[in-house]
Amino acid sequence: MSFLKKSPWILHYDGSSCNGCDIEVLACLTPLYDIERFGIINTGNPKHADVFLITGSVNEQNIPIIKRLYEQMPDPKVVVAVGICATSGGIFQECYNVKGGIDKVIPVDVYVPGCAARPEAIIDGVVQGLGVLEKKYAALKNKPSKTAA
């Protein structure tokens, strides 16, 4: 993927992270890393978003929230799990209230490593996610339109 045709918008949700990855996600948006120069901005509205960025693991209480946010996002959409907690539960894996990574609830397209994930890694993850997004977009376009529902 050499350039982006569209400006993908991000929806960020904190599963049950320690905040470490969240502040790094925010750091991506601020002047030093500034992903806005790629047309990427953070939106609070799931219906505006193309990329779902989740930090932290899932638990009983946030599963319905994550599912609802995911369902509210329009197709095509990409899920990026940021940090080791979102991948597998990380250091908190053995906690009684941690169910594991985000993929226990919704399909994940890109896993970003790190504790906390560095801004460079997060940007890299989002850019990889955009490749997936373009593929999904192409697949959606090729689908017969009568089944669209």
Partner 1 sequence: MIEPQPITTIDRSELPAKTATLASQGWRLVQICCTTGDTSLELTYSFDKEYAFSNLRVIVPRSDAVVPSITASYLAAFTYENELQDLFGITVTDLAINYNGKFYITTIKHPFLQKKTNTPASTMPA
Partner 2 sequence: MGTRTIIPFGPQHPVLPEPIHLDLVLEDEKVVDALPSIGYVHRGLERLAEVKDYNELVYVAERICGICSFIHGQGYCQGVETLLNVEVPPRAKYLRTIWAELSRIHSHLLWLGLFADSFGFESLFMHCWRVREKIVDIIEETAGGRVIFGSCKVGGVRRDISNDTLKRIRGELAAIESQYNELKPTFLKDASVNRRTVGVGMLSREQAIALGAVGPTLRGSGVAQDMRKLGYAAYKELQWEPVVETAGDCYARTVVRVREVTMSFDIIRQAIEKIPAGPIAVKITGNPTGEFFSRLEQPRGEVVYYLKGNNTKNLERFRIRTPTFANSPPLVIMLKGCELPDVPVIVLTIDPCISCTER
Binding site for partner 2 (CB under 8 A): 12-24, 26-27, 30-32, 43-46, 56-57, 59, 61-62, 65, 69, 91-92, 94-98, 115-116, 118
Look at residue 7 and give the partner it binds from partner 2, partner 1, none, a contact being a CB closer than 5 to 8 Å depending on partner kind: none
Interface pick for partner 1 out of 99, 109, 114, 129 (rule CB under 8 A): 99
- DSSP E strand stretches across the chain: 9-14, 41-43, 51-55, 78-82, 110-112
2, 37, 44, 94: which one contacts partner 1 (CB under 8 A)? 94
If one asks whether residue 100 binds partner 1 (CB under 8 A), the answer comes out as yes
Structural tokens at position 76: 């095509």
Instruction: Label each residue of 26-49 as H, E or C.
Output: HHHHCCCCCHHHHCCEEECCHHHC
Q: Based on CB atoms, which residue is closest to partner 2, 5 or 94? A: 94
Rounded Cα distance between 120 and 97, Å, is 30
